[in-house]
Amino acid sequence: MLGGRIPWGVREEAVLIGVYDSGYGGLSVLRHLLAAFPDRDFLYLGDSGRAPYGGRDVHTLLDFGEQAVERLFEEGCRLVIVACNTMSCVALRHLQRHYCPPEGDRRVLGVTIPAAEAAVAHSAGHIGVLATRRTIASGTYPTEIRKLAPGHRVTSAAAPLLASIVEEGWEDTDVAREAVRRYLAPLAGIDTLVLGCTHYPFLEDAFRAALPTHVHVLDPAPHVALRLATWMERHPGFVEPGSGRLRVLCTGDPDAFVAHGTRFLGRPLPPVETIAEVGGRLAPREGHVEPRGQVVRPKRDRADGGTAG
């Protein structure tokens, strides 16, 4: 049932902020949120066991988004930040309409509008967007940018390998520099580059080396934190501070999440709790042991009582 327990003794009047991402990358957004709101309580959900999202079909993303947001609401969050660009571009409106009626006390916010606003503020008229295939296919960034600046030109390109390069820790390698150079080729002539994936800011040096010096390289993460501050000024019901606690959930291997996540967050993570999909929802799971070799599960009875074949 949605709207369940408030974890680890947080005062009921405190507003717990959920941050949802496909895996580790959203921790770079959380880093800025923690700096901007040091007295707030955060719950981070990284769907690392099902990442990456960039090549997923739309309906699978909607399912994943529903499961994650429901889990965060069950844990006591009233405000959820969708830090994943792919999910923000594809599923944000669905999640808002499904879970946030105007008369309700829950909200789901994304990262695309703060990024679009910042890009328009910096651009002289030609904005480039580099992101995952699904983010680019959604057309969300050009749509939001043109709402703000109808005369601006937007050129977009997918860069599916860059997230994996970052997760491997290969940012300062010839592989990374060559990949960045090739992905930037379709964006010739831009004056502002939106890094439309939370992994890409870790390649900022490679981007700057490959671009003309006048091109502004935009990491949306700090702008998300700034935009949230102004949003809270307009929504005082979400402003109650907590005690500065951070809790982390992931759907994959928690040890791997800690190892990778510390680099993205820029500081050690608290103990990471494991959740997994059970019956179409994300549920807590005790421990995480990956079986080796061939795996056989007990045969499940068919609902209609029939037999396979």
Q: How far apart are CA 65 and CA 54, in angstroms?
A: 13
Average of per-residue pLDDT across 193-197: 98
Average of per-residue pLDDT across 22-46: 96
Catalytic residues: 84, 197
pLDDT score at 308: 47
pTM listed for this prediction: 0.89
Confidence of residue 303 (pLDDT cuts 50, 70, 90): low
pLDDT digits (tens, 9 = 90+) for 140-170: 999 999 999 999 999 999 999 999 999 999 9
pLDDT digits (tens, 9 = 90+) for 88-102: 999 999 999 999 998
The strand pair at 41-46 and 246-250 is best described as: parallel
Confidence of residue 11 (pLDDT cuts 50, 70, 90): very low
Question: Above 90 in pLDDT, residue 47?
Answer: yes
Q: Are 94 and 82 in contact (CB under 8 A)?
A: no
The CATH class of the 113-219 domain is alpha beta
pLDDT score at 293: 86
Helix runs in 106-253, H state only: 112-122, 133-138, 140-148, 162-167, 174-184, 204-210, 221-234
pLDDT score at 298: 78
Confidence of residue 239 (pLDDT cuts 50, 70, 90): confident
Question: Above 60 in pLDDT, residue 79?
Answer: yes
pLDDT digits (tens, 9 = 90+) for 170-189: 999 999 999 999 999 999 99
Residues of the chain by 3-state class (helix, strand, coil), percent to 5 = 45, 20, 40
Confidence of residue 57 (pLDDT cuts 50, 70, 90): very high
Domain with CATH 3.40.50.1860 in the chain: 12-110+223-284, 113-219
Task: Tell me what the pLDDT averaged over the chain comes to.
Answer: 91
pLDDT score at 288: 63
Q: How far apart are CA 124 and CA 103, in angstroms?
A: 40
Question: Per CATH, is 12-110+223-284 categorized as 3.30.43.10?
Answer: no
Question: Above 70 in pLDDT, residue 210?
Answer: yes
pLDDT score at 207: 98
pLDDT score at 5: 37
24: left (phi over 0), alpha (psi -120 to 50) or beta: alpha
For residue 203, what is the DSSP state? G
Confidence of residue 300 (pLDDT cuts 50, 70, 90): low
Give the CA radius of gyration of the chain.
Answer: 20
Burial class of residue 291 in the structure, from the number of CB atoms within 10 Å of its CB (0-12 exposed, 13-18 middle, 19+ buried):
exposed
Question: Above 70 in pLDDT, residue 212?
Answer: yes
Would you state the structure tokens that stand for residue 56, as one six-digit string? 């997923």
